[in-house]
Amino acid sequence: MDRQKLQIRLAAPRGFCAGVDRAIQIVEEALGKWGAPVYVRHEIVHNQHVVSRLESLGAVFVEELDDCPPDRPVVFSAHGVPKAVPAEAERRNLVYVDATCPLVSKVHVEAERHHKAGKEIVLIGHAGHPEVIGTMGQLPDGAISLIETEEDAQAFEPKDSANTAFVTQTTLSVDDTASIVAILQDRFPGIATPHKEDICYATTNRQEAVKAMATGCDLFLVIGAETSSNSKRLVEVALRAGATDSRLVASAADVDWDWFDGVGTLGLTAGASAPEDLVQGLIAACRARFDIEVEHVTTAKETVTFKLPRVLTAEV
């Protein structure tokens, strides 16, 4: 009996970005330097498969510093933390390593610069996301106003419309953010903008790859976690760019194979915190069921790397 033919369009770039690579390596290096257990405040990156592997090596994930004993090191997640967190770690004399992505740290620095210049700051982002909590926590309460939607941008009323600035979460939809920024710039022509776009290169590259290949895809699968902002945006981008259907899955185990009824072309990518073995696992699961052909769609080459914190590389 002939098997259903399935063409898989495989996006590149996909999966781990430099910030995620660095954060995972920081936990691994901390375990190598200090031994287990090493505590990690919040998921180091938003992917349970990554978290589970690090737990097997001796990492212990907690939500607050109160859950960390005084005699063990703690790592802060890639999403960034409010200033109060390292301040509390220092007060308790904890050894800590900050794994905040350097591109998130750049947004923190921008926000502080605008605040020192006396500007009223708008943060475009999603309420409750750890990155947003971390960025807003760089400044005193009330110094940053959060805008999530175009409606929020229309309704925002600054104290001084001629003295405003905006920054953004790094993992947003490029197109959605552009629409919000356009409204703000139309309403407040003098609003200060980031020196360089805050949405990170990896988020942008992954969205551009999806846009380039979504048209003609009967189904588009994005491997990533429900808590991963950049992964959820890829699902939305695929639908807007022409995919008939688009879904987020944590791994091949979460696929409902009924989705493949009538599917001739599958688009496949992975969010910036999803490991490549999950991608290959899904391709293998497809190969076991269908007569597959894999087409690689490459829209950019990524060569970015970030240095590890000095506390891990310095000689004892």
SS3 content of the chain, % helix, strand, coil (to 5): 40, 20, 40
Residue 74 carries which DSSP code? E
Q: Give 24: exposed, middle or buried? Use CB within 10 Å, 0-12, 13-18, 19+.
A: buried
Among 64, 90, 131, 197, the one annotated catalytic: 131
Strands (E), the chain: 5-12, 38-41, 59-62, 74-76, 96-98, 120-124, 144-147, 164-168, 219-223, 246-249, 265-270, 291-298
The tokens for 198 are: 């805050």
User: Is 28 annotated in the active site?
Assistant: no
Pair 231, 219: CB distance under 8 Å: no
Residues involved in catalysis:
131
